[in-house]
Amino acid sequence: MELSFFLAQLFGLSLAIFAGATLHQPALIRSIIPEIGKNMLVTLLASFAGIMGGLAVILTHNVWVASWPVLITIFGWAALIKGVAYLFAPAALAEFGAKVYSSDNVTRAILFVTMAVGIYLAGAGFGWF
């Protein structure tokens, strides 16, 4: 369970900081999406980070329970799947991302949900609730 608390703190704080920064500058997300598939360095780095991070979580924390630790496991699997998708279908991923983040309102809504999940995970990790 110690690992669950650590990963909740790590993911929670990371998500909250990322969401806060991109709410302040939403162009950060929209500027990187067109680079996926076109800029091979960006594509390979994103793929490598997703695969390595996802596998690290899956191999150490593959916990399927009806409680907050399952969110960490889901993030691990999602990171692995996304990392593999960057390798095999970067253009489709970029097209999907461009559609999802095409509107300021949608981008803000996604970022607010991301921040809420981050705060929730951080709170669980630090034992705030």
The residue range of the domain holding 64 is: 2-126
The DSSP letter of residue 127 is T
Q: Which residues are CB-neighbours of 62 under 8 A, at least 6 positions away?
A: 73, 76
**pLDDT tens per residue across span 41-93:** 888 998 999 999 999 999 999 999 999 999 999 999 999 999 999 899 988 88
Domain count, the chain: 1
19 pLDDT above the threshold of 80: yes
pLDDT, tens digit (0-9, with 9 covering 90-100), for 88-111: 998 888 888 888 877 788 888 999
Q: Cα 45 to the chain's mean position, in Å?
A: 15
Whether residue 73 contacts residue 64, with contact meaning beta carbons closer than 8 Å, is answered with yes
- pLDDT of amino acid 29: 76
